[in-house]
Amino acid sequence: MSTKLKIFISAFVFVSITLACILGAQQVDAAAGLVWYSVIPPLLAVTLAILTARFFLSLSVAVGASIVLSWIKHYLTAGEPASSLIPNFFGETIWFVGKVALDLENIWMALFVFLILSMIAVVVSSGGMGGIVAWLSRFAKGPRSTQVVTALIGVFVFIGDYTSAMLTGPSMRPMTDRFRVCREKLAYIVDSTSAPITGLAFVSTWIGVEVGLFSDVSGSLQLGRDGYSMFFDALGFRFYCILTIIFVIINAISGRDYGAMRKAATRARETGAVSEPNAKMLGDPASFTSTPNVVTQPLSAILPLVTLFALLLGGLWLTAVWVRGEGTELILSPAAWQAVLAKLKAEGKELGFILSLSAWRNVLTTLKTVQILRMLACAACGSLVVAIICARGLSKLQFPDIRTAVLAGLKGSLVPLGILVLVWGLKTGCKRLETGQFLALILEGKVPVLVFPMLVFATGAACSFATGSSWSTMAILIPTAVPVAYAMDGDTYGLTTLICLGATLDGAIFGDHCSPISDTTVFSAIASSCDALHHVRTQLPYALTVAFIALGCGYFLAALGLFAPLCILVGTGVIALLFFGICRRSDV
């Protein structure tokens, strides 16, 4: 595409969306404090990223715009004198910097990135990952089977989207490179089996947020159901997430691609170039190469990974016990356990056996996001220590080489962290300007019952795409959309309400999946050593395809009364027809 055409399309999209928001703002109550220019920062970020292919520049401009517009909004609504303009601007800037830099969630996430990349670098340098790849190579005999194995690993690592991406991408990258699978395809598989499977899993780092939001809306509507029950009620209507995973597996089995992904796959297959020549990698490729003359020992990778999961799950469990016991006793003392069990029994719940579903339901609904992120960082720290011990003891890697690997991992995390800081700044600006609330309000309207779940999905996608955050979109849309659906069902917990529970979660994940300013998009690109914009460009046609199939075969047919599993079966048939019927030419 020529530069002039890019500029024209970007300007057209920017102006069109801006005008639509200006017109839509007329239906927004001025007392709500929502303004049309709240969409400008994320819109700038997306259009500039596509136009310039420079993430730092695009995000920096968007963050700067959000600070300025937030300052303008504050000045206009507060009615302060003109003499306070400059002091207020500096105050707003300091507030933004402090909010991003001192936010505990951001701090723990940054530590997790530092530690997990260092751990992965040590595991790879010690030859441990090479041992796992050698074992997996027995099942991966070519490009198709390699993609299937990659997808299955992503599905099985369901505990968290960040964890899934950071483990699946680096572990499978040597094998996908060997069989000339393009980095864009690897990033797509990693991205499409991280958030979707984590959002579906009933034991994950997401479940607390999802269940908590459902519990709140249940209480406000007096539904008489707990959040976990509502999560399971909605599980059959999670059409986008379920069909995304099915799409990935059928796509891998078929060996066929289309659109931008087909071009990337053809390039890798015919030239051996797994990335485009102008690709700007996120992370340090040197941190993902084995040190010569090490002992190839799979245990050097398996033990740190087992440690990561054991510490994460155990830490989440013990943290929940601490919270339930309100930290008044030693966490491992019998008195602490007795206090927790008595408290749960008084609430009508039982902690149960440590592996039971009911036990983990109570654990994960107890914890807050910052506590989950803290345990991620602590688990990554413990796994790094074990990786260093295994590298020295099992793989006979010398301490200077271990130090080099750790430093390479730290170095590889600097650019991704820089981008994440800007993404966090933009999210802070969107929250300050109430971008999500504005979009949800102007898109909300009186529509037929059959169309409403589809509108909820589209609204969630728009909010999530603009803000780059699925969780914040869920937090905005669930209290907004579910009461409307409940009213459409005649103030009963009926079919429309159930479908909308799934549509809100899936719409948020779909928009986040497509957004170039999403942290999960950036994480998937980092884990796959892929150019982030190339990842977005090749993934977008596939994500849109699944979204349209989910809308037509899922939400619409379900609203007509078709049994949800049959809707999924119809969607699966359409996907199979796409790859085995329409895309007839085998690419690999």
* pTM beyond 0.75: no
**Average pLDDT value for residue range 197-204:** 75
Distance CA 438, CA 426 (A): 16
When comparing pLDDT for 231 and 346, which is higher?
Answer: 231
Q: Which string of DSSP letters, residue by residue, matches 426-470?
A: HHHHHHHHTHHHHHHHHH-----TTTHHHHHHHHHHHHHHHHS-H
Q: Which string of DSSP letters, residue by residue, matches 239-295?
A: HHHHHHHHHHHHHHHHT---HHHHHHHHHHHHH--SS-TT---SS-GGGGSPPTT--
pLDDT at 327: 46
**Average pLDDT value for residue range 71-96:** 67
Position 582 confidence tier, pLDDT thresholds 50, 70, 90: confident
User: For residue 440, is pLDDT > 70?
Assistant: no
pLDDT at 586: 47
- 432 and 70 in contact (C-beta within 8 Å)? yes
pLDDT at 325: 53
Structure tokens at 130: 């090479």
Burial track 88-117 (b if 16+ CB lie within 10 A, e otherwise): bbeebeeebeebbeeeeebebbbbbbbbbb
**Average pLDDT value for residue range 6-11:** 73
- 528 and 194 in contact (C-beta within 8 Å)? no
Q: Which residues contact 527 (CB under 8 A, 6 or more apart)?
A: 165, 166, 168, 169, 170, 187, 190
- 456 and 481 in contact (C-beta within 8 Å)? yes
Position 352 confidence tier, pLDDT thresholds 50, 70, 90: very low
**Average pLDDT value for residue range 247-266:** 89
The whole-chain average pLDDT of the chain stands at 76
When comparing pLDDT for 144 and 2, which is higher?
Answer: 144
pLDDT at 380: 84
Q: What share of the chain is helix, strand, coil (3-state, %, to 5)?
A: 75, 0, 25
DSSP label at 581? I
Per-residue pLDDT tens digits for 358-390: 566 566 556 665 676 777 788 888 989 998 998
pLDDT at 167: 74
Across 30-34, 129-133, 459-463, which has the greatest mean pLDDT? 459-463
Position 84 confidence tier, pLDDT thresholds 50, 70, 90: low
pLDDT at 431: 76
Position 330 confidence tier, pLDDT thresholds 50, 70, 90: very low
Nearest to 16 by CA among 49, 38, 41, 43: 43
**Average pLDDT value for residue range 562-567:** 89
- 463 and 476 in contact (C-beta within 8 Å)? yes
Q: Crossing angle, helix 85-102 and helix 414-433, to 10 degrees?
A: 130
Across 291-295, 458-462, 557-561, which has the greatest mean pLDDT? 557-561
Residue 174 has a CB neighbour count (10 Å cut-off) of 18
Position 550 confidence tier, pLDDT thresholds 50, 70, 90: very high
pLDDT at 342: 64
- Tell how far CA 124 is from the center of its chain: 25
- 73 and 431 in contact (C-beta within 8 Å)? no
DSSP label at 493? S
**Average pLDDT value for residue range 106-127:** 79
Across 151-155, 347-351, 385-389, which has the greatest mean pLDDT? 385-389
pLDDT at 362: 60
Please state which of the ranges 247-256, 294-303, 358-367, 434-443 shows the lowest mean pLDDT: 358-367
Q: Is 147 exposed, middle or buried (0-12, 13-18, 19+ CB in 10 A)?
A: buried
Structure tokens at 308: 């990561």
pLDDT at 570: 93
pLDDT at 341: 59
Distance CA 191, CA 248 (A): 10
User: For residue 58, is pLDDT > 90?
Assistant: no
When comparing pLDDT for 361 and 267, which is higher?
Answer: 267
**Average pLDDT value for residue range 469-478:** 70
Nearest to 303 by CA among 119, 434, 96: 119
The share of the chain scoring above pLDDT 90, in percent, equals 7
pLDDT at 299: 84
User: For residue 328, is pLDDT > 50?
Assistant: no
